[in-house]
Structure formats: C-alpha cells, structure tokens
Structure 1
Amino acid sequence: MFDKLLEARQKAEEIKKRLDNIIVRGEAEGGLIKITATANKEVTEVSIDQVFLSNANKEELEELLAVAMNHAMRQADNISQTEMQAATKDMLGGLGGLFGQS
C-alpha cells in the first residue's frame, strides 16, 4: 500500500512538471490584451497593445485584464483536470491488484 502512495506522489510531481511546460493564453478586446501562463496557473507574460493602452481608461483596462486572465485560467483548469483524470484512471487501474482484481 505504501508503494502505491509513493507512486501516486511521484505521479503528481510528474504532472506538475508537465503542467509547468504547457502554455495557455487568454485574450481580450480581439487580442489587444494577451495573458500567457502555464497550465499550473503561473502568469508568465502580460501584453497590452500600445495604442489601446494610450486610449484606455483605468476601469476598462482592469476589466479587460481580468477577462484575459480568466480565459487563460480556464484553459489551465481544463488541462489540469484532464491530466489529473488520466493519472487517477491509471492509478485506480493499478489498485485493482490490492482488491484481488487483475
């Protein structure tokens, strides 16, 4: 049983490393604001079009940054959930031997 727990922990670390290397992007206002992040939800870049920035007011900019950020975070969530579901399925399949199943 301890081996299975250790294996699960190692699998979780592998997934985290893999998610660190997956890039997600969120945009707002037709790409004038772009957010780049990892699938582990770490923002790595924020890009705002210079012309848009010079014409935008503070409230508009804040709202659109939130929109772009939320798009990127939803993508990260979807990827993370998919990775975790696959890992859980693999682990549960391996646990069948603990209960006399092959």
Structure 2
Amino acid sequence: MFGDLMGMMGKLQEAQKKVEETKQRLNNVLIDEQSADGLLKVTVTANRQIRTIDINDELLNDKEQLEDYLILTLNKALEKAGAINEAELAAAAKDGMPNIPGMDLFK
C-alpha cells in the first residue's frame, strides 16, 4: 500500500514539474493581435503578459478612440493567450497525473 502511495506521490511531483516547465515555456509563446484597420498592434505571451504595443500616429490625436482600440485589441489577444495557456497547462497536468481509480478528472 505504501509503495503505491509513494508511486502516486512521485507521479504528482512529476505532474507539478511538467506544469511548471510548461508555464516557463509559455513565456516564449507570443500572440500577435491587431485592430481591424491595423492602426494598433499588440503582442502578449501565452502567460498573458503584454510584450509590445505599437500605436499608429493617427490614433494619438483621439484619446477616446485610442482607449477603445487598446481595450478591444488587448482583450482579443488576452483571450487567445488564455485559451492557449489553459489548454497547455491542462495537457501537462493530465500527462503527469497518476491513475487513481474513480478520479477521472480529465475526461
């Protein structure tokens, strides 16, 4: 019984390590997004960190328009980053989880 428990603990530690490695890797996965007219471009990581914002000079004359562009474009980029992040972390966790009867967490 203790051997099985120790084996499961080892598997859980392995799963945790895979998740941490995946989080680190996702810092290098970049998502580019731009406004429909291309006047604003942003780049975020799959860990939802903003890397770059490129604003066309046209937008600098209208504060309200610039704010709208930033909100819309950043939200689109962060939504894509979140989907990638969740999928990658779930896959990493699932691969390392021990097979515990009755605990089908990742169907």
- Asked if Structure 1 and Structure 2 have the same fold, meaning a TM-score greater than 0.5 normalized by the shorter chain, the answer is yes
The answer to whether residue 59 in structure 2 is matched with residue 53 in structure 1 is: yes
Contact 2:42 2:54 (C-alpha < 8 Å) held by counterparts? yes
Structure 1 gap segments, 5+ residues each: none
Three-state SS of the structure 2 residue aligned to 1:64 is helix
Runs of 4+ in structure 1 off by over 3 angstroms are none
Shift of 1:4: 2.0
RMSD: 1.6
The answer to whether residue 24 in structure 2 is matched with residue 17 in structure 1 is: yes
Structure 2 gap segments, 5+ residues each: 1-7, 102-107
| Counterpart residue number, 1:87 | 92
Q: How many residues align?
A: 94
Separation in 2, partners of 1:10, 1:63: 40
Q: How high is the TM-score relative to the length of structure 1? A: 0.81
Shift of 1:54: 4.0
Separation in 1, partners of 2:52, 2:87: 24
Equivalent residues in 2 for 1:1-102, closer than 5 Å: 1-50=8-57, 52-55=58-61, 57-92=62-97, 95-96=98-99, 98-99=100-101
The structure carrying a bigger helix percent of its residues is 1
Q: How high is the TM-score relative to the length of structure 2? A: 0.77
Structure 1 vs Structure 2: percent identity of aligned residues? 38
